[in-house]
A and B are shown apart, each in its own frame.
Chain A
Amino acid sequence: MTEAVVDVRELRKTFRVTEREEGLAATLRSFVKRRRKDVNAVAGITFRIDPGEIVGFLGPNGAGKTTTLKMLSGLLYPSAGDAKVLGYVPWRRENAYLGLMTLLMGNRTQLVWDIPAADSFRVLQEIYRIPEDRFRAAVNELTELLELQELVHKPVRNLSLGERMKVEFAAGLIHSPSVAFLDEPTIGLDISMQVRIRRFVAEYNRRTGATILLTSHYMDDVVALCKRVIVIHRGRLLYDGPLADLAERMAPYKIITATLHDGAAPSTDLDSYGTVVSRDEGRVMLRVDRQVAPERTARLVNDLGDRLADISVEDPPIEEIIDRVFTSEQATVSA
């Protein structure tokens, strides 16, 4: 077994937060005396990640994803539990470790607003003690992969959101880290920019062999990049395993989509094949149990005969699976 790059055991983080009701009176009361409550942001999670993996870290808002990433990058002390990244305990914040990792946050920028990114890169070169030749090589590579060219010479405030994110990526990766934690790297970007960032992450991982742990609300990011996903909800681990198996474990059904030549006439009774999810202009979607999907499909093809223009059997969309997981609050399922 190879040495894990990220090794997390029973990691916990409890925050003490101030609570108050709405309204002026409550605000005044809270000004004098704060009522505090403990919140278990991360309630004991365990996982490991091998070198070169890209793992998707999924969960709804407030699931504990960012808190976990912050502990792994040394920004937060855990309340309990252990974690090692590249053999270091992250929250000791040893310079040797900090030089080997990066944390990119899609909603925050580390670049100085008023100066061109190229100047910020020079500062980073000095901070990370990157020798000139390696610095140039890294800048060239990132410029090529991210199509930065003239972007790095404009003041950051003049860049569009997508451009800024590309430059942000370059700044975060300029020291060629072995581990990258990406927190919502495509948030707020348009589709084509999302696609480019995704392509970049995949290519970067391929070229450098960096280990990547990524959170995203866009399932497309996860589907495009991650073979493996870790799902957490309310600070607990719900699933850890191949993305491909997530559907099987979490959604015990398939979607059959049948397109009819003559339009799905109301008289056509499809309820005996499965639950009709939607029905419009000649297209019917049915939800059927996973086990009986092949048999139902065969029967549909048989029964509908010539009226059938097209038929497909698929896993439900990944968003739907995840949503189901989070709303149904299943017990822990691990692969």
Chain B
Amino acid sequence: MTRYLRLLRLFFRAELQYELEYRLNFVLEIVETAVVTATSVGAVLILFSYTTVLNGWDLGAMLVLLGCFYLVQGFGEFALQPSFEKFLENVRLGTLDFALLKPASPQFQVTLRYFRVAQLAQMALGAVVVAVGLSRIPAIGLAEAIGFPIALICGFVLIYALLVALSTFAFWFVRVDNLMALYWSFMDAGRFPVDVYPGWLRVTLSSAVPIGVAVTVPAQVIAGRLDPLGLGFLILGTIAAFILASRFWRIGLRSYTGASA
């Protein structure tokens, strides 16, 4: 296990070095993130200048939700998207072979290999927005304070499991870029609480695509809208999703034969 942590550190360091080589690009990416975040916070503020409550969500809770969205999306773009994009490319080119030749978990080597360090800025901004939102919520109990980070981590893991499951299809169909694009656009819908969407979409968002869960649940915890039982289900569900997705990936791997003979 510590070996995998050391590997993660090495992967991360390499990516950091690489990104710092292109200073301008690095700075621009951070600026872009800041602008995008600021605009959507602005949009929420405008919305709440006309109303005080949106389907039971007041401004504080809404900001927490938005912050969670940026935390989760930032995590996706920082830690997941780069590796999964490379993974699809590797399946197509047959360079996935190299991961299979190594005495270490192929899934680990492939899915947590690349990082977009500049996207940490998005996570940081997300944290700031969460903090601002929290400051508007009068009292936060101990249970909420403990439940929130747990729910958030479950959110990260759920997103990871979903991507693992989706990308597994690449083993059989080779080109699944569209599937992944679908995922990223669903991701976008997560910036509003799932319960503002019509029923059918809500079900899609929070079951097939657990982005709603990943973003909304942590915010619900803070807003005191989730009981311990719900949190327990979330934890169990997350563990199950992770195990199932990893299994599925291994099954897919078995039918991988490399791009050439």
Can you list, as one digit per residue, whether each of B31-69 has a CB less than 8 Å from chain A (1) or not (0)?
A: 000000000000000000000000000000000000000
16 extra interface residue pairs, beta carbon distance < 8 Å, beyond A126-B3, A127-B109 = A15-B261, A64-B261, A67-B261, A70-B258, A74-B100, A95-B103, A108-B93, A112-B14, A115-B14, A119-B13, A119-B17, A123-B14, A124-B102, A127-B104, A128-B103, A155-B18
Q: Which residues of B contact A15 (CB under 8 A)?
A: 257, 261
Task: Name 8 A/B residue pairs within 8 A (Cβ), A-sorted.
Answer: A64-B261, A67-B261, A108-B97, A109-B95, A112-B14, A126-B6, A126-B7, A128-B103
Question: A residues bordering B, Cβ < 8 Å?
Answer: 15, 41, 62, 64, 66-67, 70, 73-77, 93, 95-96, 98-99, 101-103, 105, 108-110, 112, 114-115, 119-120, 122-124, 126-129, 155
Query: Taking A102-B101, A103-B101, A115-B18 as contacts, is the C-beta distance between A76 and B10 under 8 angstroms?
Result: no
- B100–A93 touching, CB < 8 Å: yes
Shortest Cβ distance from residue B99 to the other chain A in the assembled complex, whole angstroms: 9
* 9 shortest interchain CB distances as A-B pairs: A95-B103, A110-B98, A98-B103, A99-B103, A114-B18, A115-B14, A119-B14, A127-B104, A67-B261
Please, how many angstroms separate the alpha-carbon atoms of A101 and B254 in the complex?
21
Does B178 sit at the interface, judged by CB under 8 A?
A: no
Please, how many angstroms separate the alpha-carbon atoms of A28 and B97 in the complex?
31
Please, how many angstroms separate the alpha-carbon atoms of A249 and B138 in the complex?
92
Please, how many angstroms separate the alpha-carbon atoms of A226 and B98 in the complex?
26
Please, how many angstroms separate the alpha-carbon atoms of A99 and B100 in the complex?
12
Does B252 sit at the interface, judged by CB under 8 A?
A: no
- B14–A75 touching, CB < 8 Å: no
Does B11 sit at the interface, judged by CB under 8 A?
A: yes
Does B260 sit at the interface, judged by CB under 8 A?
A: yes
Candidates A75, A77, A126; contact of B10 at CB < 8 Å: A126
By secondary structure, the A interface counts as: mixed
Candidates A41, A77, A115, A124; contact of B261 at CB < 8 Å: A41
- B100–A123 touching, CB < 8 Å: no
Specify the chain B residue showing the minimal Cβ separation from A123: B10
Please, how many angstroms separate the alpha-carbon atoms of A73 and B10 in the complex?
26
Interface size class of B (residues with CB under 8 A): 20 to 34
Shortest Cβ distance from residue B94 to the other chain A in the assembled complex, whole angstroms: 7
- B258–A75 touching, CB < 8 Å: yes
Centre residue among A77, A108, A124 by max chain B CB count within 10 A: A108
- B97–A75 touching, CB < 8 Å: yes
Shortest Cβ distance from residue B198 to the other chain A in the assembled complex, whole angstroms: 35
Centre residue among B10, B13, B93 by max chain A CB count within 10 A: B10
Q: Which residues of A contact B3 (CB under 8 A)?
A: 126, 129
Please, how many angstroms separate the alpha-carbon atoms of A109 and B95 in the complex?
7
Please, how many angstroms separate the alpha-carbon atoms of A15 and B261 in the complex?
9
Centre residue among B13, B14, B17, B94 by max chain A CB count within 10 A: B14
Q: Which residues of B contact A108 (CB under 8 A)?
A: 93-95, 97-98
Among B175-230, those with CB < 8 Å from A are: none
Shortest Cβ distance from residue B253 to the other chain A in the assembled complex, whole angstroms: 10
Query: Taking A67-B261, A108-B95 as contacts, is the C-beta distance between A127 and B103 under 8 angstroms?
Result: yes
- A76–B258 touching, CB < 8 Å: yes
Please, how many angstroms separate the alpha-carbon atoms of A108 and B96 in the complex?
10
Q: Which residues of A contact B257 (CB under 8 A)?
A: 15, 76
Please, how many angstroms separate the alpha-carbon atoms of A70 and B96 in the complex?
13
Please, how many angstroms separate the alpha-carbon atoms of A114 and B204 in the complex?
38
Shortest Cβ distance from residue B184 to the other chain A in the assembled complex, whole angstroms: 23
Please, how many angstroms separate the alpha-carbon atoms of A101 and B21 in the complex?
35
Candidates A64, A75, A109, A115; contact of B100 at CB < 8 Å: A75
Q: Which residues of B contact A96 (CB under 8 A)?
A: 103
Please, how many angstroms separate the alpha-carbon atoms of A198 and B261 in the complex?
24
- A127–B102 touching, CB < 8 Å: yes
- B18–A75 touching, CB < 8 Å: no
Please, how many angstroms separate the alpha-carbon atoms of A11 and B110 in the complex?
30
Please, how many angstroms separate the alpha-carbon atoms of A248 and B169 in the complex?
52
Q: Which residues of B contact A119 (CB under 8 A)?
A: 10, 13-14, 17
Q: Which residues of A contact B94 (CB under 8 A)?
A: 108
Query: Taking A41-B261, A74-B101 as contacts, is the C-beta distance between A110 and B95 under 8 angstroms?
Result: yes
- B10–A122 touching, CB < 8 Å: yes
Q: Which residues of B contact A103 (CB under 8 A)?
A: 97, 101
Among B76-110, those with CB < 8 Å from A are: 93-95, 97-98, 100-104, 109
Q: Which residues of A contact B261 (CB under 8 A)?
A: 15, 41, 62, 64, 66-67, 70
Shortest Cβ distance from residue A281 to the other chain B in the assembled complex, whole angstroms: 45
Shortest Cβ distance from residue B53 to the other chain A in the assembled complex, whole angstroms: 49
